[in-house]
Amino acid sequence: MKLELGFIQIRDIQFSKECKVESGTLYVNADEVKDFIFQDDDVKACVKAAHFDIAKPGESVRITPVKDVIEPRVKVEGPGGEFPGVIAKVDTVGSGKTHVLRGMAIVTAGKIVGFQEGIIDMSGPGADYTPFSKLLNLVLVCEPVEGVHQHEYEHAVRIAGLRAATFVGELGRSLTPDETQEFETYGIKEGIEKLPDLPRVAYVHMLQSQGLLHDTYVYGVDAKKIISTLINPTETMDGAIISGNCVSACDKNTTYHHQNNPVVADLFAQHGKTLNYVCNIITNENVYLADKQRSSDWASKLAGMLDLDGVIISEEGFGNPDTDLIMNCKKTEQKGVKTVLVTDEYAGQDGKSQSLADADPLADAVVTGGNANEVIILPPMDKVIGTLDYVDKIAGGHAGSLRPDGSIEAEIQVITGATNEIGFNCLSAR
Amino acid sequence: MSYRVVHYINQFFANIGGEEMAHVPPELREGHVGPGLAFNQAWKGEAEIVQTIVCGDSYFAEHEKDAKAQVLEWVKEAKPDLFIAGPAFNAGRYGYACANVCQVVQDELGIPVLTGMYEENPGADLKEKVLIVATTNSAAGMRKAAPTMAKLAMKLMKGEALGASCEEGYMPNGIRRNFFEKERGSKRAVDMLLSKLAEKPFTTEYPMPSFDRVAPNKAVKDLSKATIALCTSGGIVPKGNPDHIESSSASHYGEYCIKGVEKLTSETYETAHGGYDPVYANENPNRVLPVDVLRELEKEGKIGKLHDYYYATVGNGTAVASAKKFAAEYAQKLLQANVNAVIMTST
């Protein structure tokens, strides 16, 4: 399957009377985008009000509570459309041509539940920890209809963000990309014939599925309900997997992370040179033991059936999913397939505790995204998009996290994407 | 004024002699001796070795108590800003002496200490107790070890925060520290996998710990006479979370009276836990802390009594060391209250 991505570099975002992309500037008529968002019945029923704001790298701006971050894209050739099974029809994506508005993102913010959302600082020390401080962010701040059920509201805000991204992505349809790149994996037999001497490698992509507010969707299917299965890496790159998370912001994959999964990118970079990138295996992280057993059995079984030599296994979240990570590792290694794990750590604020909730001697090759418990002071910002009302309550905050001068003392856990476990960042620990 | 340092070396590095002179007792010399020169040069006047303690390796091994006492006396007198020992490279008894003498100076006098040696040196067993720079296995590595040790020593004297072990050159000491790598995590993972597949050496970024396993107690013989307590890491607290237990990485636990409470309701209790969907626990907190069921069992006479207090914290992202500390504390309270068994619910 071959996918071509055409990157259109966005260098500025401005509010305007009309919506267009011209000479690298995205012009946005906020009312037009809102109209499109509110055409969805669920959004209409659950979202009382929405407004847009713009946050640029280097500005003294804090966005919180952040729910999701999404890259606007549009399918210009080939089957399917953006966010299949959710926004577009369910046709298989991952082939043809997709235009990407690079350098920007749609960020959804506002109250989801009482706690559990992240912080993006556009400057200062916090900005070093989140990749989204480097993007031009079009922020969609939503307010709930009074009395709305939390689960329904999470769904509505998720859809609102995806619709905003779809609308903005569409503005790139007829533009000529600044740069194009092609990505292709082979069929099983074809791969063996073309790359007979290279090790066969796959990516075991663990999807957060602990429960509502900790969910991931694949072609619109709740990942809790999947059995571990195969997916082409280009499908992942093309919007097949979206985030339904808004809990413990540091190590949950936003939709942007899925669209730009760096394990996929770095395996593609070696594909045909040092390894044969066969496919991705997606598996979930359900809370029941039977589900954990079944899913890890299946993930490792698929690795065995594909005669793989090695896999990279990435976790999403921490604590409970550490068990899934270790089960996947152990069973895959026992099939004779070598593993490297990507995780993060909860070693305590003093760094002295064991970092994972589970361990096994077979897990001898681990990459870490850092200790999420490390404390950081985030200085006050001139402008807050969203509200600081929940800073004391979000995961990683504590009573008194928000200090009278507007600065925040909290664990880096509060920062969106800080200890990402698909290896998005350079942050690590020893 | 420059920082003042006392340096500890063995008879070999003091040019007294090799194995045949290893019996010499501790001796105090003014200024730097032997390898101390390299440290002084690296510090460029910002710090200086004021005294050097020389001790034979055999003497230290055979008279450890006396040797330590003598060193402590001299170091106490000198009141240095730092005590540095070695580096010992792969010399086993020298490494043992360096690490142990550092530990006693650190623990008894509260002075920052630093030593260096090869990672397989038996002295490196103390790497989680004292800061040890990893060196090569022979003295030829001095040129590399001296600047690393000197730089780290300066940070210790200035009281600056240390970076991660791999950045600063010390052996992993069980304290995890964050830092920014040059490559992103995914690239490091791909590189590590390629090394592993090619059976080339690679270094894991997180060596797996060995886990503390707790053997279960014997079963309670007669439940109908037992007092049962409920405890939870699921964050069930009185509405409003009066003790402000954090939604993740809890710093404390709560003790709450449930005397006369027949069941928990959404009006009076809720969860403080930020790691799971709170909706169902908030709707009916008994789902996490089953007070309702225990009261039924109490009425039916299946259990003697539900204990009047329950203990709750949030397990989400909470350090194991913190959890252990909480439980050790409230376990004593449970014992004092003659509780026979505990139902601990997690989420």
Whether the CB of B78 is below 8 Å from some CB of chain A: the reply is no
Q: A-contacting residues of B 92-121, CB under 8 Å?
A: none
Q: pLDDT tens digits for B8-48?
A: 999 999 999 998 999 999 999 999 999 999 999 999 999 99
Query: How does residue A395 score in pLDDT terms, banded at 50, 70 and 90?
Result: confident
Q: B209 vs A74, which has greater pLDDT? A: A74
Token duo for residue B154: 């300066």
- Asked if residue B164 has pLDDT above 70, the reply is yes
- Asked if residue A112 has pLDDT above 80, the reply is no
Ranking A113-117, A224-228, B113-117 by mean pLDDT, the lowest is: A113-117
- Looking at residue A117, its pLDDT comes to 77
- Report the gap between the CA of A109 and the closest CA in chain B (Å): 18
Whether the CB of B161 is below 8 Å from some CB of chain A: the reply is no
In chain B, beta strands by DSSP E: 3-10, 27-30, 47-55, 82-85, 113-118, 132-135, 178-180, 227-232, 236-238, 254-257, 269-271, 305-306, 309-312, 341-345
> In A, which residues are within 8 Å of B192 by CB distance?
340, 365, 367
- Looking at residue A116, its pLDDT comes to 61
Query: How does residue A398 score in pLDDT terms, banded at 50, 70 and 90?
Result: confident
Q: What mean pLDDT, rounded, does chain A reach?
A: 96
Q: pLDDT tens digits for B62-87?
A: 999 999 999 999 999 999 999 999 99
ipTM over 0.90? The verdict is: yes
Q: Which of B94, B240, B134 is nearest to A430 (CA)?
A: B134
- Report the gap between the CA of A352 and the closest CA in chain B (Å): 5
- Give the total number of structural domains in chain A: 1
> In A, which residues are within 8 Å of B282 by CB distance?
none
* Domain membership flag for residue A67: yes
The conformation of residue B162, written as its DSSP 8-state character, comes to P
- Looking at residue B35, its pLDDT comes to 95
- Report the gap between the CA of B166 and the closest CA in chain A (Å): 7
The residue-averaged pLDDT of B240-263 equals 94
Instruction: Measure the CA–CA gap between A418 and B62, rounded to whole angstroms.
Output: 52
- Asked if residue B95 has pLDDT above 70, the reply is yes
Question: Among all residues of chain B, which has the CA nearest to that of A421?
Answer: B185
Contact A247, A396 (CB under 8 A): no
Instruction: Measure the CA–CA gap between B286 and B276, rounded to whole angstroms.
Output: 16
- Looking at residue A248, its pLDDT comes to 83
- Asked if residue A115 has pLDDT above 60, the reply is no
* Domain membership flag for residue A143: yes
* Domain membership flag for residue A223: yes
Element (H, E) at A201: strand A200-207
**Which of A237, A340, A350, A420 to mutate to probe the B interface, most B CBs <10 Å?**
A340
- Looking at residue B110, its pLDDT comes to 96
- Asked if residue A114 has pLDDT above 70, the reply is no
The residue-averaged pLDDT of A363-373 equals 97
- Looking at residue B213, its pLDDT comes to 73
Whether the CB of B329 is below 8 Å from some CB of chain A: the reply is no
- Asked if residue A113 has pLDDT above 70, the reply is no
The residue-averaged pLDDT of A62-81 equals 97
Least CB–CB distance from A213: residue in B184, B206, B277:
B277
Which residues of A are designated catalytic?
A: 246
- Looking at residue B107, its pLDDT comes to 96
- Asked if residue A370 has pLDDT above 80, the reply is yes
Token duo for residue B312: 């709750």
Q: What mean pLDDT, rounded, does chain B reach?
A: 94
Burial call A352-369: b when 16+ CB within 10 Å, e when fewer: ebbbbbbbeeebbbbbbb
- Looking at residue B65, its pLDDT comes to 95
Least CB–CB distance from B192: residue in A365, A395, A397:
A365
The residue-averaged pLDDT of B255-271 equals 96
Whether the CB of A290 is below 8 Å from some CB of chain B: the reply is no
- Report the gap between the CA of B171 and the closest CA in chain A (Å): 10
Instruction: Measure the CA–CA gap between A33 and A39, rounded to whole angstroms.
Output: 10
Cross-chain Cβ contact A399/B246 below 8 Å: yes
Q: pLDDT above 70 covers what percent of chain A? A: 99
Q: Which of B212, B228, B191, B247 is nearest to B320 (CA)?
A: B212
Cross-chain Cβ contact B190/A266 below 8 Å: yes
Q: pLDDT tens digits for A248-260?
A: 899 999 999 999 9
Q: pLDDT tens digits for A128-174?
A: 999 999 999 999 999 999 999 888 999 999 999 999 999 999 999 99
The boundaries of the domain holding residue A235 are: 2-414
Residue ranges, CATH 3.40.50.2300, chain B: 3-168
> In B, which residues are within 8 Å of A114 by CB distance?
278
- Looking at residue B317, its pLDDT comes to 81
Element (H, E) at A76: strand A73-77
Question: Among all residues of chain A, which has the CA nearest to that of B242?
Answer: A399
Instruction: Measure the CA–CA gap between B311 and B258, rounded to whole angstroms.
Output: 10
- Considering the domain B3-168, what is its CATH architecture? 3-Layer(aba) Sandwich (3.40)
> In B, which residues are within 8 Å of A398 by CB distance?
244, 246, 249, 251
The residue-averaged pLDDT of B148-156 equals 97
Question: Among all residues of chain B, which has the CA nearest to that of A318?
Answer: B317
Contact A255, A242 (CB under 8 A): yes
Token duo for residue A68: 């999701």
- Asked if residue B130 has pLDDT above 60, the reply is yes
Token duo for residue A84: 């299949």
Contact B41, B23 (CB under 8 A): no
Element (H, E) at A237: helix A233-237
- Looking at residue A428, its pLDDT comes to 98
Cross-chain Cβ contact A367/B189 below 8 Å: yes
Match 């992505």 to its residue by tokens.
A169
* Domain membership flag for residue A420: no
